[in-house]
Amino acid sequence: MTRVSLTLSLALMGTTALAEGHAELGLTYGPRPAFLIGQMADSDLKTKLQSCQGQTPARSDFSIGHRGAPLLFPEHTVESNVAAAQMGAGILECDVTFTADQELVCRHAQNDLHTTTNIVVTDLAEKCTQPFSPASGDTPAAAECRTSDLTLAEFMTLAPKMDAADSSATTAEQYLGGTADWRTDLYVNDTTLMTHAESIEIFRDLGAKFTPELKSPSVDMPFNGFSQEDYAQKLVDEYKAADVPASDVWLQSFDLNDVLYWIENEPEFGAQAVYLMDEYDIEGYSPLDPATWPNTMEELKGMGVNYIAPPLWMLITLEDGEMVPSALAIAAKEADLKIITWTLERSGPLAGGGGWYYQTVTEAIDTDGDYFEVLDVLAQDVGVVGVFSDWPATTTYYANCMGL
């Protein structure tokens, strides 16, 4: 039995206790969807969702595990993805970056090891780009540790943790804290890091499809002769080596050049390559004003792009107090672009308006039940084909109830 097979077997044994014994992998919604429905105001949508309580969960490609299920599990671990698969996520994500020896691993960013692993309290801490420095006066604690600071063998010795850090820490041990009070450290112990190649094997064994994101390097490229094109190609090559059909893979990147590289050089995979949109970083940009867009939706389609993935706030706005599609959403639909969006359950409780992910509809957000209200507008009015969530049971429940 390989390390991956053994780890997956142990993960399934460990998390089956969370399930209620439905279908393959013990698919289960758990208590969260019912809790969210209970927070909703009376409406036709609430009545419809209530009518589906008791249904047997089924896997759905509409439901995408965002780094697995990181509301409760350390992101990009075997256990986080097992949990997402057990909640019916039909597509799972490995954010991809590389080590010093140019091996691909699953991490949200090349420079996040100081917040997502225990590196600052290990013998590898001295290899960090910026080793831990304690808080002093008005200066917060800080560190920066990159996958490119380590070989693959060194990376695999680290222990995952919830993505957090205590900026007031005066010791490295204290720096490991800081987990948000609406997340938990309950499932941190003995979780397992993955290489990208291992994620392919694991996701396939879980019955899920794939959406890897090529993360922007923190180092200058080329890195020891490893160019951006080499990086983008190696990502595809690992799917080809595993005999994964291109139709089961949605490559992602925030860099349009990566997407265009795949379209030109790997057209089968490029046909489903996803352009993650971060135009919101451009001064003056507004999803409501096409004059501020660096590329029109028609121009993106003309480049061969078939999928876009803006954050959900870019796709919705308020009109007479009601959530409706934004100008960007309307233009994307008119250009025949398929839309995926992120991230439904990354904001914690919504009583305060939902924060960054809900900034265009804050005035309409005040209870956790609004997760379903937003999801319904995205699905029915915007027409998204998939939604990333930190707790995929919610999107799976909605998709199953609505027949998506």
Residue with tokens 């996803």: 274
- The one-letter code for the residue type at 40 is M
Name the 3-class secondary structure at 176.
Answer: coil
CATH number, domain 3-94+194-402: 3.20.20.190
pLDDT at res. 39: 97
User: Does the N-terminal peptide bond of residue 343 adopt cis geometry, omega within 30 degrees of 0?
Assistant: yes
Task: Give me the numbers of helices (H) and strands (E) for the chain, helices first please.
Answer: 15, 15
Residues 356 and 24 sit within 8 Å (Cβ to Cβ): no
Read off the tokens for 58. Answer: 């089924």
Backbone angles phi and psi of 322, in degrees to 5: -105, 145
Domain positions in the chain: 3-94+194-402, 104-175
* Residue-level pLDDT at 21: 33
Predicted local distance difference test score (pLDDT) of residue 122: 98
pLDDT value of residue 26: 86
* pLDDT tens-digit series, residues 344-365: 999 999 998 999 999 999 999 9
Segments of the chain scoring below 50 in pLDDT: 14-23
As given in the structure block, the two tokens for residue 365 are: 């957000």
Q: What is the pLDDT of residue 10?
A: 52
Report pLDDT for 157: 98
Start-to-end Cα distance in the chain: 37
| Cβ–Cβ < 8 Å for 251, 262 | yes
Place of tokens 């590898």: 124
As beta bridge partners, residue 168 has none
DSSP summary character for residue 273:
-
Dihedral sign, CA of 259, 261, 264, 267?
negative
- The H or E element spanning position 137 is none
Whole-number Å distance between alpha carbons of 212 and 67:
10
